[in-house]
Amino acid sequence: MSTENARAEYDARVKRVMTAAANKEPDRVPIMPGMMPFAIDYYGHSMAKVTYDAKLGIDVALKFLDEFKPDSAVGFYSGEGTGPINELSRPKNNAWPGAPDKRIPDNSYHQFIEFPVLLEEEMDFYERDYTGWTLQKAFPKVSGLLDPMADWNTSDLEFNMGVGMLAAQLSRPEMRNMIETLWKIDDMYKEIRAIQAEGMAKMEEMGFPSFGAGIGGAVPFDSYSDFYRGTLESMMDMYERRDFIERFIDERIVKTLARMKAAAKANEHLKDSKWGSIILHKGMDGFMNEEQYANLYWKHLQMMINEITSAGFKCYVYTEGPYTSRIDHLTEVDKNMVVYHFEEVDLALAKKKLGDMACIAGGFPAWIVEQGKKEQVIDEVKRVLDICAPGGGYIFEGGYSFGAAPIENVMAMFETVLEYGVY
């Protein structure tokens, strides 16, 4: 394809997606399914191989784009090239495909191992000395490489005692080894980022845009539940330690909004072609009651969405799990500035309540492509489009990423969206 044709296709895809994101009708429904796990299998590789070879991941993505031609560049597998880094850092909260211990299959995603990093008996220490708690308690709990930090008594550090004490602390043999390994890891991450940047440039040259503007963050309660206390403990804390949660999330949102504001300012020139992104974990139906969701979750999520949209960017919100009971809250944002991706939702209700307010994305059950018959795929694509496409404001995505699937099902999905989704 000539450079001019590729640029024309790039511009057409940007226009198509951003028109839908503005809750309007483009020429057809954009198709942006997350397909990296499928593509890795389809081209004869495993997740383990890509976890240990970032360049292979780029090659897979480029082949997929050239063959299937979706409306956006394929998002990278988040563990791409990180296998050797994991072997050095020895994470205690992550199992990855291809790891020497073989804890998970070679074709699995990396698996987050959740446990409470912040213990109840450490809460006073956490609030009194967050930095000390992070260095001495949190780091050693999540990484074997950082085990030496547990013996570093930061309470003894005083700047007026000179550099001698600090030098002594950091020069212990185990600390020297840790620091030198961290230098190696930093170099390895820089290499991966360079490979990814080169890959993204090639995707754009081929006519495939990406839409992330690097503006976003975690909802404070998600940080609390995912990384600090764990799911079970955070559920109990909503009843037994509500004050602590509120102090945590109210402090965290100030920092989060400041980072988002700075990122929006730095990327202001991209607001017509890219969006901010927020990925949700714990706000789904059933995890919280209505009062808890409104005050411990939505309040801060709404602030984050408004920070992005008030800067002139569209905001892409990726909900996980069932989300039907939260739809009324989702209407409380700037009109035609938000894209809500749904994994599982009452699509008819979502279209009814959000149809004149926000763009809908996803809602298509990926398992039908992975496990169903071709006719089922076609029928389900049409059902979803019949509900969501009228009037515009819909982007076709799977409710979650597509794994290994029969090629005839994948082709049927693409062909049906392209033929049936025309306005």
Q: Tokens 């063959």 appear where? A: 67
What is the chain's mean pLDDT, rounded? 94
Name 112's bridge partners: 94
DSSP codes of every residue in 79-147: TTT-HHHHHHH-BSSEE-TT-TT--S-TTSPPEE----SS-GGGHHHHHH-HHHHIIIIIHHHHBGGGG
Say what the pTM is.
0.94
Tens digit of pLDDT per residue, the chain (423 long)? 678 899 999 999 999 999 999 999 999 999 999 899 999 999 999 999 999 999 999 999 999 999 999 999 976 667 899 999 999 999 999 999 999 999 999 999 889 999 999 999 999 999 999 999 999 999 999 999 999 999 887 776 776 666 777 787 888 899 999 999 999 999 999 999 999 999 999 999 999 999 999 999 999 999 999 999 999 999 999 999 999 999 999 999 999 999 999 999 999 999 999 999 999 999 999 999 999 999 999 999 999 999 999 999 999 999 999 999 999 999 999 999 999 999 999 999 999 999 999 999 999 999 999 999 999 999 999 999 999 999 999 999 998 889 999 999 999 999 999 999 999
Task: Please state the separation of Cα 400 from the chain's center in Å.
Answer: 11
pLDDT score of 248:
98
Select from 3.40.50.1580, 3.20.20.210, 3.40.50.300, 3.30.70.260 the CATH code of 1-35+208-423: 3.20.20.210
Q: Measure the N-to-C terminal CA separation of the chain; round to a whole number of Å.
A: 27
Pure H helices in 267-397: 290-292, 299-310, 327-330, 347-354, 366-371, 374-388
| One-letter amino acid of 389 | A
Nearest to 170 by CA among 158, 189, 153: 153
Q: Tokens 């569209």 appear where? A: 314
Name 361's bridge partners: 341, 395
Name 314's bridge partners: 275
Tell me the two tokens of residue 229: 């206390």
Q: Which residues contact 42 (CB under 8 A, 6 or more apart)?
A: 64, 404, 407, 410
pLDDT score of 118:
98
